[in-house]
Amino acid sequence: MILVNKETKVIVQGATGKMGASHTKRMLDYGTKIVAGVTPGKGGETIHGVPVYDTVAEAVRATGADCSVSFVPPYLALDGGCEAIEAGVGLVCVITEGIPPNDTAKLVAEAKRKGTKLIGPNCPGIISPGNSLIGILPGNIFKPGNIGMISRSGTLTYEIALALTENGQGQSTCVGIGGDPVKGMGNLELLTMFNEDPGTELIVLIGEIGGTAEEEAAAFIKKNIRKPVVAYIAGQTAPPGKRMGHAGAVIEGGKGTAESKMKAFKEVGIEVAVTPIEVVELVNKAAKQLVRK
C-alpha cells in the first residue's frame, strides 16, 4: 500500500460542517485513525468523540497528526490547505470542489515548495482497503489485495473497484486524483510509488478525455514502470467537437481525445479496456501472466 495505512493519524478540516461531520463518522466507522477535527472558533468541542481545535497547528501539536483531509468551502480551501502545509502535515487531501484554478495553482506550488504530498482538489480521496479511508470513498466496495488504482474519475473508481472486488481481485491502495486541470499528485508520481510498493503487483489507471496526462503516463510507463498496467479511458463515446462538462475535459490540437490516449497506451504495450467491466478481464489476464512468470 502507499500513502496511508492503519497508523496514519488524520485531521479533518471542516469537521463540524455537514459534509465534514458525516464523513468523519464514516471514516471512523471504517477504522481510520481520526485524531482531530479543525474548525476555527469551535476549539474545545468534539465531533463523534473526536476533539476539535481552532487551528491545524494546535491539532498537530496535540496529536502528532501526519495527514489532513479537507472539507472546507471553496473560498477557504487555499488558506486551509496552506495552513495544513505550514503545520508540517505530510499528506493533504482536498475533497472540496469548485476551488478557483488560481487558488489551486498557489496551493500546488506551496505543497511542492514544502515537499508536502497533495491529493486533489475535487477528488474522492484515498483508501488502503482494510487499513485506512481518507475522504468520501464507499469503503464497503473495496477489498484488500495487490492492485493499485489511480483514477481521475470518482464514480469510475467506485464502479471498477466494485467489479474487481466482486471478481475476487483486491486492491492495495486506490487514489482518486480528481479531474481538475490543476491538481496535486498525478499519474507519474503515483505510478512511481506503486512501482516501488512491494504490496502492489499490478496497476489500474483510469483516465478521461481532456489534457495530455494519459499520453505522458504512457511514455513514462514504457521507460520506468516494470509492473503490468491496465488502462481505461472514460469519454470514448464523446461527440467530436462537443464541449463536455468536466473541468479537465479540454481537447486541443488532436491531443486529449479518447482515441489519442488509447493509442498512446497501446503503442507501449498497455492493454486498454473498452468498457469498465472489461478492466476485470484484462486484470485477470495480466494476473495469470504474473503467475506464469
Kindly report, residue by residue over 203-231, the tens digit of the pLDDT. Answer: 999 998 888 889 999 999 999 999 999 99
Domain boundary among 119, 146, 169: 119
What 3-state DSSP class applies to 248?
coil
Active site members: 246
Q: In this structure, are 228 and 276 located in the same domain? A: yes
E strands of 143-235, at which residues?
Answer: 144-151, 171-176, 202-208, 229-234
Average pLDDT over residues 16-21: 96
pLDDT mean over 121-135: 97
Q: What is the DSSP string of 105-134?
A: HHHHHHHHHHT-EEE-SS--EEEETTTEEE
- Say whether both 74 and 143 belong to one domain: no
Residues 169 and 288 occupy one common structural domain: yes
Q: Assess whether 70 and 145 both reside in one domain.
A: no
pLDDT surpasses 80 at 167: yes
Instruction: Give yes or no: residues 238 and 192 share one domain.
Output: yes
- Global pTM? 0.92
Domain count, the chain: 2
Same domain? For 144 and 196 the reply is yes
Do the domain assignments include residue 130? no
CA–CA separation, 221 vs 229, rounded Å? 8
- Per-residue pLDDT at 158 exceeds 70: yes
| Calpha distance 236→188 (Å, rounded) | 23
Question: Per the domain annotation, does 96 fall within a domain?
Answer: yes
Round the CA-based radius of gyration of the chain to a whole number and report it: 19
Summarize the confidence of residues 158-169 as an average pLDDT.
96
pLDDT at 260: 87
For residue range 232-264, list pLDDT tens digits in order. Answer: 998 665 555 554 455 455 555 556 788 888 899
Question: In what helix (H) or strand (E) does residue 88 lie, and over which residues does it extend?
Answer: none
Domain containing residue 268: 138-292
Average pLDDT over residues 101-124: 97
User: Quick one: 169 and 243 in the same domain?
Assistant: yes
152 and 55 within one domain:
no
Average pLDDT score over the chain: 92
The pLDDT of residue 250: 55
Quick check: is 4 in a domain? no
pLDDT attached to residue 246? 54
pLDDT digits 0-9 by tens, 23-62:
999 999 999 999 999 999 999 999 999 999 999 999 999 9
Q: How far apart are CA 260 and CA 61, in angstroms?
A: 49
Task: Examine the domain organization and report whether 82 and 142 are in the same domain.
Answer: no
In a domain, 176, yes or no: yes
Confidence category of residue 169, pLDDT binned at 50, 70, 90: very high
Neighbouring-strand partners of residue 203: 148, 229
- Give the tens place of pLDDT for each residue, 261-287: 889 999 999 999 999 999 999 999 988
Q: What is the CATH number of the domain that holds 256?
A: 3.40.50.261
pLDDT for the residue 87: 98
The fraction of the chain above a pLDDT of 90, given in percent, is 82
pLDDT tens digits along 79-111: 999 999 999 999 999 999 999 999 999 999 999
User: Under a CB-based contact definition with an 8 Å cutoff, are residues 188 and 217 in contact?
Assistant: yes
